Structure 1
Amino acid sequence: MRAEGDAASRLRITCVHQGFELYGSDRCFIETVRTIRAAHPTARIDVVLPRRGPIVAGLEPFANDIVIAPLWILRRKNLARLATLGLLTLPIAIIRALRRIRASDLVYINTTVVADYLLAARLAPGRSIVHVHEIPEGVVLKVLRGLIRWSGANVVFNSRATERTYALPHGTTARVVYNGIAGPAEPNRPAYDGSRPLRVLMLGRISRIKGQDVLVEALASLPEPVRQRIQVRIVGSAFEDDAREQALVKRIAEAGLADQVTLAPFVADPAALYRWADVVTMPSQRPESLGRVAIEAMSYGVPPLVTAIGGLPEVVEAGKTGWIVPSGGPEPIAAVLADLVADPARWRDFGRAARARYESLFSEASAAEGIEAIVRTTLRRPRATDAARAADVPARPAA
C-alpha cells in the first residue's frame, strides 16, 4: 500500500465494484483504477469491494486502501430476497454509501447494479461517475435506467450498443469509451494450416447468456469427419450454479464429444489459452454490452467468431478480423466451423488484421484518454453544497 501522507491536501477518489473475481468486468475495473492512478499519482484512492477475492492482488498496486464492505447489489438471482428482507437493509446501505461519497472528491461506480451508491449519489451531486457494462432487458432495464437517471451521475458506456439500450435523456453527461485492454507485446503467428485439429477457445462464466450449450450443439451437429478436425476448450465456471455446469458436462458426454471438448475451471491468467487458440468464440445468446474476450483474442492476433448481438458487431469486422453470425441456434456457428477447417488459407490473414484493429480501437491508451476526459469533467462540475445535510449524516467514510 502507498503511504497516506497528508490526506487533507490530496484528491480523494473512491472506486466501487460489485465483484471480487477476475472475469471480464473485474479486469476492466482493475484497468480503470490503474488509469485513474496514472492520471492522478498523488491522489488517495480507496477501493470498495463486497468481499475479498482474486481481484484484490490486481488492485493493491494502485489503491491506498481496499475496503471490504457490504454493498446493495442488484443480482438477478437475489431479486426476490432484495425486494423483501433486503429492503430493510437498504437505508443503512444508502447512508453508508453517502458518507463515503461526501468524503470523496470523485466516486467511480463500476456497473449499474451497485444500487446503494447510485441512490446515494443524488444526495451528494456532482461527484459520481457510473460505468455501464450491462445490456439488460425488460423490467431489469427499466430499473437500472431509472437508477442512473435518479443518481444524476456522469455516465461512461462501454459501447454504442449499450448507449442505445439505455437511451438516457438529452443533457445527460455521457461518453462511449471502449474497454482498453493490455495486450501482449507480440501477437501469435498464424499456425493453422489444416494439418492438425482446429483449436477453438471459449472463455467466460458458464451461463445462459454466454452460449456454451450452443457451441456444444454446433459441434455435435457436424459430420463426424469434420468434428474430428476440431478441438474445443471451454474455460470458466458458473456463478453459484452447479446444476448448469453439470448439465453442460452431461450434454458433452451424451453427444459423444469427450474427445473433442475439454471443460476447465476459471483461470486468472488466460494468456496461455490465447496462445493455444486458432479461433476464439463468443456464441452469446443474450446481448453482450461489448465483448472483452473477443478484444483480448484480437490482441493476440486470434480472430473471433461471435454472434450479431449487443456490442459484439462493434468489435469484429466481419470477413476481415473474424466472423459474425446470427444468434438463436447452433447452425450458423457449425457452418463457420466447417468452413474454417475446409479452407484455412482463406482466413490466414484474419489474425494480423485483428491485431491491427485492436491497436487502433481497443488499446489501453485510447481507453485511458476517454476515462480521464470524463474524470476531468466530473471534477470540474459544480456541486450543490452539502452543508445543510452534514448535520444529519456525518461526512466521514464508513469502514
Structure 2
Amino acid sequence: MIILQLEDEPWDSGIAHYALTLSIELKRRGHEVHFWGREGSAPLAEAGRAGLKPRGLRRPWLELPALRRELRRLRVSLINAHTGSGHALAAALAAGTAAAVVRTRGDVRPAARHFLARALARRTRAFIAANSRIQQELRLGFPGSRVELVFQGIADAPRRTPLPESPVFGILGRLDAVKGHEVVMEAAARLKTGRWLAMGKGDPARRASLERHARRLGLDDAWQFMGFVDDIWPRLGQCRVGVVASLGSEAVSRAALEWMAAGRPVVASGVGCLPDLVEDGKTGFLVPPGDAQALAAALAGFISEPALADRLGAAARERFEKRFCLARFADETERIYGELLGRLPS
C-alpha cells in the first residue's frame, strides 16, 4: 500500500507518537509510507530520522493545488489523518481521487458535531479510536460511520529486569501539571516509606517548584528528579511499581505501556485510556484522579504484601504481550486499511 500519514502538530505528543510508531512499523512491513507534517516540527524531524518520506507543510491550504498534484503523482491509496486540521486537509486532498480517508482520533476533547463535522464524516471511510471512550463518542456523534478501536502498541522492552527487592516507585512523564506530580508527592508523604524516581523533562521553573514541594513534604531523601532519560528501560528496571497519576488527558499513554512492557504493575488514575490498559486488581490499580489518599492506599498494598508486585507485574507483562504489542497494533491497522481498499494487506 502507498499510505500518507498526516500529523501536523508542532510538538512531540501522544498523538504524534501513535502516528510515528505506526508509520515506522508499516514501513518495516514493506508499505510505502509518506509522513506529512508541520514544517520544522519535532514529529516531522523524527519521521525523517526513521527513514519515512517526510514533507513539511507551511501553508497547506495555499499550497493545496500543488499538494493534490503530489498526491496523484505518488499514487497514494489511503490518507490517515491524526488531527482535526489534518482531517479537513485529507478530505480536500482526496477529493476527486480514489484515495480513502481515515481519521484516527486520540484526543480527549469532545468531537465536534456541527454540520461541517458531519459533512466531513461522510467523506471519511473509517474512524479509528485510540481508546474505548473515544470509540463510544464517535459512534454516538456519527451514527452510520465505521468506527474501529485500535489501541496503540509499542516496541517491546529490549530485556527483562527482575523487580528490585526494595520498594522503589517510578513516575514517567513530562513535568506538566496535568501529570499529577503533586498528587503523587502527597501520596508518597502519606506512605512515609519507599523511594521515588521521577523521569521526564520539563520547564526549569516547574521542576524548581516541584522540588520545593517535595522539601515541604519532607521527601528530600526519598524523591529523585532524574530529568530526561534517553534509555528509559534500565531506569524502569530500577522500580518495583509504575505510577501514572494524570489528572486528565491520557487519550493514549506511552508511559503506562512502557511500565507494562517492563513487567511492572501500574497504579493509574481512571482517566482517558488508562481503564483500557490497567485491569484493576489484576495488573495494577485504578484510583480517582487527584485523590492522594486513594493513591497512597493502593501503593501501600505493595509495601505490606511484597509478592503483590511480582504477581501483578507478571500479569501486566502478559496483558502487554497479548493486547498492546507492536505487532498487534500494526496487524489491526493493516486489516482496516486493506478492507477499505478492497484487498488483503500487502
- Place the TM-score, normalised by the shorter chain, in its bin: 0.7 to 0.9
Report if the CA contact (8 A) 1:119-1:147 is conserved: no
2:129 paired residue number: 157
Q: Give the TM-score normalised by the residue count of structure 1.
A: 0.73
Matched, 1:107 2:79: yes
Matched, 1:37 2:27: yes
1:388 paired residue number: none
Letter in 2 for 1:92: L
Matched, 1:120 2:86: no
Matched, 1:214 2:183: yes
What does the per-residue CA deviation read over 1:27-73, in whole Å, with 9 as the maximum and x for residues that have no partner?
332321123224444x3x3222322548745654441x322333xxx
Letter in 2 for 1:168: G
Report if the CA contact (8 A) 1:133-1:158 is conserved: yes
Report if the CA contact (8 A) 1:218-1:334 is conserved: yes
CA separation in 1, counterparts of 2:269 and 2:21? 26
1:92 paired residue number: 62
Matched, 1:13 2:3: yes
Select which of 152, 156, 160 maps to 1:179.
152
Local SS of the residue matching 1:358:
helix
Select which of 170, 174, 196 maps to 1:201.
170
Alpha carbons of 1:271 and 1:256: their partners in 2 closer, same or farther (altered >3 Å)? same
CA separation in 2, counterparts of 1:181 and 1:67? 24
What does the per-residue CA deviation read over 1:310-350, in whole Å, with 9 as the maximum and x for residues that have no partner?
22111111212111112232111111222322221234311
Q: Structure 2: which 5+ residue stretches go unaligned?
A: none
Alpha carbons of 1:261 and 1:114: their partners in 2 closer, same or farther (altered >3 Å)? farther
* Per-residue deviation, 1:182: 1.2
Among the aligned pairs, what percent are the same residue?
22
* Per-residue deviation, 1:143: 7.3
Q: Counterparts in 2 of 1:320-339, with a 5 A limit? A: 320-339=282-301
Report if the CA contact (8 A) 2:270-2:286 is conserved: yes
What does the per-residue CA deviation read over 1:182-230, in whole Å, with 9 as the maximum and x for residues that have no partner?
11254332333xxx3x21111122333321221122223x1xxx42x32
Greater radius of gyration (CA): 1
Q: Structure 1: which 5+ residue stretches go unaligned?
A: 1-10, 71-88, 382-399
CA separation in 1, counterparts of 2:119 and 2:170? 39
CA separation in 2, counterparts of 1:378 and 1:91? 27
* Per-residue deviation, 1:358: 0.8
Q: Give the TM-score normalised by the residue count of structure 2.
A: 0.83
Alpha carbons of 1:93 and 1:308: their partners in 2 closer, same or farther (altered >3 Å)? farther
Select which of 168, 193, 197 maps to 1:233.
197
Task: Give the root-mean-square deviation of aligned CA atoms.
Answer: 3.1
Alpha carbons of 1:331 and 1:121: their partners in 2 closer, same or farther (altered >3 Å)? farther
Letter in 2 for 1:142: A
CA separation in 2, counterparts of 1:264 and 1:37? 34
Alpha carbons of 1:119 and 1:330: their partners in 2 closer, same or farther (altered >3 Å)? farther
Report if the CA contact (8 A) 1:156-1:177 is conserved: yes
Report if the CA contact (8 A) 2:91-2:101 is conserved: no
